[in-house]
Amino acid sequence: MFRASIVEAADRCCGRKVVGTCRGSNVRDAIRLKKALVACGTPEAADRYRQAKWSAATAVAEAKTRAWEEFGEAMENDFQTASKRFWTTIRHLRKGKQCTVNTV
């Protein structure tokens, strides 16, 4: 009962969904536009969908690259605790939980 109340309070306060650095506003907007265009189904929307798909993929790739660069800089700057962060990241990657790495 105590644990359930703590979990419920934490859920209300913090939420359950982890928002990573890869999901910035520009990435979200590009993905929303792509999804809206694929739902249209018109021939004109098909061309615009291809462009939106390319721009969304580019935005996601840039965000992922930026997240990894920030991770590398954090590893270089804080070398005292960097070992723990590094091995935690490796452990998550080995388990296939790559999405948690992007929140670093």
Nearest to 30 by CA among 2, 51, 16: 51
For residue 11, being part of any structural domain is answered with yes
pLDDT digits (tens, 9 = 90+) for 43-96: 888 889 999 999 999 999 999 899 888 888 888 887 777 788 788 877 877 776
The stretch 10-21 carries a mean pLDDT of 67
What's the CA gap between 41 and 24, in Å, rounded? 27
| CA 75 vs CA 52, 54, 82: distances in Å | 34, 32, 5
What pTM, to 2 d.p., does this model score? 0.59
For residue 102, being part of any structural domain is answered with no
For residue 64, being part of any structural domain is answered with yes
For residue 51, being part of any structural domain is answered with yes
For residue 56, being part of any structural domain is answered with yes
Number of domains, the chain: 1
For residue 100, being part of any structural domain is answered with no
> DSSP assignment of 11-35, as one string?
HHHH-S----TT--HHHHHHHHHHH
For residue 101, being part of any structural domain is answered with no
What domain range includes position 15? 1-95
For residue 103, being part of any structural domain is answered with no
